Chain A
Amino acid sequence: MATATKERGALTHPDVHHLSDVNRDVLKILSRPGKGWWALFALACAGVGLFFGTWGYQLYRGLGVWGLNSPSGWGVDITTFVFWVGIAHSGTLISAILFLFRAPWRQSVYRLAEAMTVFAVMTAGLFPLIHLGRGWLGYWLFPYPNSRFLWPNFKSPLVWDVFAVTTYFTVSATFFFLGCIPDIAAARDQATGLRKKFYSLISLGWRGTDTQWHHFGKAYIFLAALATPLVLSVHSVVSWDFAMSIVPGWHATIFAPYFVAGAIFSGVAMVITLAVPMRKIFGLEAYLTIKHFDALAKLVMLTSLIVLYAYLSEFFMAWYSGEEIERSSFWNRLFGQYWWATWIMLVCNGMVPVLLWFKRVRHSISALFVISIFINIGMWFERWVIIVTSLTHEYEPWAWGVYRPSIFEMSLLAGSFAWFGFWFLLFTRLLPPVAIAELKEVLPPPLRRQRKEAH
């Protein structure tokens, strides 16, 4: 135990004695859910009902039920879209990039992060549809063959967005599912009844043979390599929704790296937000150790610095450009009608993460949880600031305006969390939320340990 920890480096799992313990600890999560889970699931279902109910009403009644107006053609809808796309980024980062770089601490969290990614993309992907004035024609954004020979406008960043999000969903879902297969097989071996049938079906006949492991390894590394550029490209494309426009406050070359860093920042914070309660509820202290959280916190620290740098460089560039309209836009951002949103953003994303420089904070699970919540809030407001403060204070002073979200937009926002939570709750009970097979790889092999114990 303790010796094994030392031998394999600082990041293995002190409390795990045997490989079979992993199976036991992880697969027990898949047992019958308790009352707490059902309560949460009921809440999520209600929220999903609210979400689709709101959407349906909005389709029936018109977008007017929202608070949007001229000049603010976008608001909570696109803010929430970018927020969820951003959340989706850390999953692939942790699972693919850290896999390629052989970061030794990813095994415990990556399944969780990947699941989060897939569900976040599923949430985000709805918003471009939701925000359409005529949502039932959303398929026009796809280049499908049609008798009128009409194609989408490939110059439009919104079309790029369609490709970026659908590609990202396809790849991340495939990657997620592929990584799950050996663990689903493990679950299958323990399950009975209907569950057994289900797991048998989706384990795709996994038997753990050498050939299968060989193919699995190849496929996994290829998909990891395929997913890696997406981490950078998808959010770059999302940033171009803004950067390609001429709106003061949007039109900036820094947007792509700024958005990618922000996405990872928010995604890792969301991983912490999700991992802390899961660790507590499912008794995964042995698997998600302080060391893991420490590593996540450092990633948050790094990306927070990049994001803060981007904020400051935007303000600097607005001032340094000497361009009055740009200056006015950023002055308005800090001191205009939405000053509070900007300051929430700066405090939550730039100042609160400074606490993570202290090791004591990084090693306090509850502090990390609180900080991660702050970051989640701050990152939602970052998108709000970018979208709303810029749109409401553009070129024509006569057209400056105010945007106040309506109850319908807020229920869509709340409903999107419920939709995400719905899938995540199902995930915790249906798929092994910790990667069993990969964890076993980093545990000391049984034979060696036995030999040591014999000494």
Chain B
Amino acid sequence: MSDGIKRRDFLKVLGASGAGAALTGCSPQKVERLIPYVVAPEDITPGVASWYTTVCDGCAAQCGMWVRTREGRAVKVEGNPNHPVSGGALCGKGHATLQHLYNPDRYGGPMIRENGTLRPATWEEAEALLAQRVQGAAGNVLFIAGAMGPSMSALADAFLGAVGGRRVQYDALSDAPLREAMRRAFGTDALPRYELAGARFLVSFGDDFLESGPSPVEYHRGFARMSAVDEHGTKGHFVYAGPRLSLTGLNADEWIPIRPGSEAALALGMAAVLVASGADAGPYASLLSSFDLGAAAQATGVGEDTIRDLAQRFVSEGPSLALGPGVGAHHRSATAAHLATLVLNHVAGNVGRTLHLQGGPVGATRPWADMEAAIAAMAGGQAGVVMVHGANPAYSLPAASRFTEAVAAVGFKVSFASAPDETSALADLVLPDRHFLESWGDSAPHPGVMALRQPVMQAVPHFDAKQTGDVLLSVASRLGHALGGATFYEYLRGAHQAMHGADAVAFEAAWREALRKGVSEHPVEGAGAAAGLLEPAAAVSFEAPALDGDGDFTLVVYPSSRFGAGEFANSPWMLELPDPVSKIAWHSWVELNPAAAEARGIREGDIVTVASPHGSVEVPVWLYPGIRQDVVAVAMGAGHTDFGRWGTGKGANAMALLPAVAEQPSGALVTLATKVTLTPTGRRQRLVTTEGSDSQHDRPIAPAVALAALGHGAGEHGTEGGHGPLKELQGVGGFVPVDAGGGKPEAFPLEGARYGQYAGTEAKARWGMAIDLDKCTGCSACVTACQAENNIPWSGEDQVLMGRELHWMRIERYYEHVDATHASHVDVRFLPMMCQHCGNAPCEPVCPVYATYHTPEGVNAQVYNRCVGTRYCANNCPYKVRVFNWYRYSDENVPEPMNWQFNPDVTVRTNGVMEKCSMCMQRIRDAENRAVLEGRGKVPRDGDIVTACQQSCPAEAIVFGNLRDPDSRISHVVRSERTYRVLDALINTQPGVNYLKKVTFHEVASGGHQ
């Protein structure tokens, strides 16, 4: 051998230089050192999720929650199936509470106003200041708070009792008129418990219980069980009477477009018809027997026949239930309208059957009148210190209430807002509260139901927040008051121990069990309520309510199903979620009937000034056939002036149009109060809508079947392509050639090809989904659930405007029949559309790099890191369910710490790649892994896999499972004669997502395809 380089040396040098090149060539980013846990936390297993129970604080409904945490971070919230309210489901707002937790706009810590600006302070300093000011207020402390749990309410009252002051509960959406009506009718302070699932004929007098009622998730479940066709082929009937179709209204079978404020006339008219045919009306008999049906017809704008017919069906098709005007549609006669509805229910014999006087929601809301008094007190200088907790009255009250001016008159203003809002902007001291996922607490949504709220993670370290209960205890102790515990946790435990009894050991077990299960139920004795209707204590006027102004249109201001009364307006998930009715995202709109618009030369997208005697807003027009021609509607919740980076300046605040008037006798804030004029500004804007067309154009996208036709295999668009066994075409082995029978026509379709053979695989499953369109209400909770689970960022207003929304799921809303001129049937089809996981997927063969392919389990998979972004798959997708990452949305749009919410089980996608529904592949894998660990092979049990959309669906419309297993739930479901697959009959895509046709009471057109 020569003296040159030896082979070993050569290899060493090669290896070293190669490694050097690899190191330097790999990443331009700075090298970060990964530091492992020195002492690993006991309760964290990397890669394995921990689940905690808690209670959602997104609205007054207080749904039970399961929170999924990974490595100590909350990444997903789901409904707690043990909880009587949520029953395992969750609404979109519930999901969005996670974005409040990680909201980058949250206060970094306590702030003290100095020389007009807020400066950061320490908690020590801030609490000392508060203690000093509270002491200085000499018993004049005003504590304005939203709804709070029992223990927190008790603590606040104890604190105020100790330092001298009073608590004013402020609820932006109050159900005071219903409570007042219940008091007058039945002598109870409780809200009624509606047994929606038990009703067969439901009439809503403008109650939007699916979106803004006291408990939307609970009512959703009940409504779906009532209205969906059951195994006996019957379904409940739902009639909506109101000036505007809300999401609830769009789910009705009939719409009676009554004049705004004429609910009482219609309800009493119906009751009068029943009384005339012999029904008992108790103390209201004289009123009803002399009731002028003609006047009712006149007042409501519907014919006497309609009222008679409705009344008769209300009894004959019972058990029935009537619901009064919703919490957002309170006019000056709202109590009367509720009373009339209760009378109708009583006359029809529903009390005790579908309407129960006990067991209703207990989260008592307070009327506006309380707040009105507080404002007067503040303006009159009777409040030394005002503290605001869990409420944003500076935004959610009409400007006419002069809340802001009244607060300015108070010497010292304290806000417990965790993120900036309009009210905290007025504060001298900000003591940011923790998010409920970082806090202890409790809630009692129903009588006998107690649920605990526990911190599911360490407080997000970016924000030095402190739970308000802790602050109150600390300040009280500084002032020398012992309220029972050094921390709110101790206080809470103490309160529960007191409730439970003295046995510490038993209590400990019960406490742990309550935390584990998320809820504890204990029997309650029935509250006192009259058996029958009470004599009217005072005369109630059932006249139509007075309206301010003399504009052409009556203004309806309704709570948004996405923003509530504005609390969720800084959540990009909620902003980007298309409104379930209008399908508009990010901005506000005013709803106007197309005929009314045409008469005035107004086009969709025209920006108009909506002016009432109390104020005006500028909003673009959205033409909506589901609103009366003399009514316009604007949603609450938008138009914030100081609400974080996303919420500020988006849309218009409808409250600016309203007076600050209390309804008599309940004291609720009147929201249907005024007439308005519409004046075009001459400017236009393109609506940020996800709607391409509101009509199906006779295509078999969302067909329906008439109830009468069920059982005969008929239905709109026939059943072709809907039935029969599921077809599969190709697996990882690729297309398997089959005998084409010499090409003779009768050989087609080729059976082998249609059923598919998976060459070289032994897949046990064909994952599929079934969605019952008769249950789906279009509420869009699934969309946000999917967004939360699958790390789908938001694209932003300008991007949605361009058609670049990123949702993997969308709810299509097609009008079939919506008529605002007279009472008639409503036919609106909601269709949740996501990747259909076609057995014969058009997207797969066109991808040049196999970035999309078929798994042996029938899932159409997308390999993000193989995708080069030709977008051919999206072009060739007939369902248009593939979304493209035009920018680095996940990096650019999601600021720290909101990216803490990202699910570690799902890849965060970069720009230039295609993505779409994966059928929650990570959940399938998780269930498979669990099955392996439990020694069951790689086959999850039926029901082990619950997709995010399915989990969230409050209507229980979605079923996921193995279509190959003939005993699985999905296999049973898809055997329904209503099953169809979208476009399959036309283009042979053989989807794995099955839909069950909506069932209508009216005949459905056959459409162009049979």
Contacts and interface: CB of A to CB of B under 8 A. Distances in A.
B696 A399 contact: no
Given A70-B883, A141-B868, A402-B803, A397 B692 contact: yes
B886 A63 contact: yes
A281 interface: no
Interface stretch (B597-605, B606-614, B674-682, B872-880): B872-880
A25 B868 CA distance: 50
A158 B848 contact: yes
Contacts of B692: 71, 396-401
A244 interface: yes
A73 interface: yes
Contact of A395 (B691, B699, B871): B699
Contacts of B912: 62-63, 132-135
Contacts of B883: 70
Interface stretch (B118-126, B553-561, B839-847): B839-847
B810 interface: yes
B812 interface: yes
B667 to A, nearest CB: 44
B868 A397 contact: no
Contact of A71 (B691, B698, B880): B880
Contacts of A74: 871, 875
B135 to A, nearest CB: 57
Interface string A112-147: 000000000000000000011111011011000000
Contacts of B805: 70
B803 to A, nearest CB: 3
Interface in A322-373: 324-325, 328
Nearest to B845: A155
Interface string B380-421: 000000000000000000000000000000000000000000
B986 A325 contact: yes
Contact of A397 (B810, B814, B874, B1009): B814
Interface in B481-516: none
Nearest to A402: B803
A61 to B, nearest CB: 7
Interface string B671-689: 0000000000000000000
Contacts of B911: 62-64, 133-134
B870 A131 contact: yes
A148 to B, nearest CB: 10
Interface string A387-419: 000010011111111111000000000000000
A70 B813 CA distance: 18
B870 A394 contact: no
A245 interface: yes
Contacts of A230: none
A156 B846 contact: yes
Contact of B876 (A70, A151, A247, A404): A247
B187 interface: no
Contacts of A68: 871, 884, 886
A150 B887 contact: no
B868 A138 contact: yes
* Interface of B (DSSP majority class): loop
A69 interface: yes
* Interface of A (DSSP majority class): loop
A336 to B, nearest CB: 11
B497 to A, nearest CB: 55
A53 interface: no
B833 A396 contact: yes
Interface residues of A, number: 52
A299 interface: no
B874 A64 contact: no
B850 A324 contact: no
A396 B880 contact: yes
A407 B264 CA distance: 58
Nearest to B811: A398
B987 A395 contact: yes
Contact of A245 (B690, B812, B869, B876): B876
A152 interface: yes
A132 B869 contact: yes
Interface in A238-265: 241, 244-247
Interface string A176-194: 0000000000000000000
Contacts of A404: 802
Given A133-B869, A324-B1008, A397-B701, A246 B845 contact: no
Nearest to B876: A245
B880 A70 contact: yes
Contacts of B1009: 324
Contacts of B812: 396, 398
Nearest to A128: B870
A14 interface: no
A162 interface: yes
B849 A397 contact: no
Contact of B696 (A140, A245, A397): A397
A167 interface: no
Q: Which 10 A-B pairs have the closest CB atoms?
A: A133-B869, A133-B912, A64-B886, A69-B803, A400-B692, A73-B871, A399-B880, A397-B693, A134-B912, A398-B812
15 contacts: A62-B885, A62-B911, A72-B803, A137-B868, A140-B848, A241-B872, A244-B845, A245-B875, A247-B875, A324-B1009, A395-B983, A395-B986, A397-B697, A399-B880, A400-B692
Given A132-B869, A398-B814, 11 more contacts: A69-B802, A71-B875, A140-B866, A152-B848, A153-B850, A158-B870, A159-B848, A245-B846, A247-B876, A396-B701, A401-B803
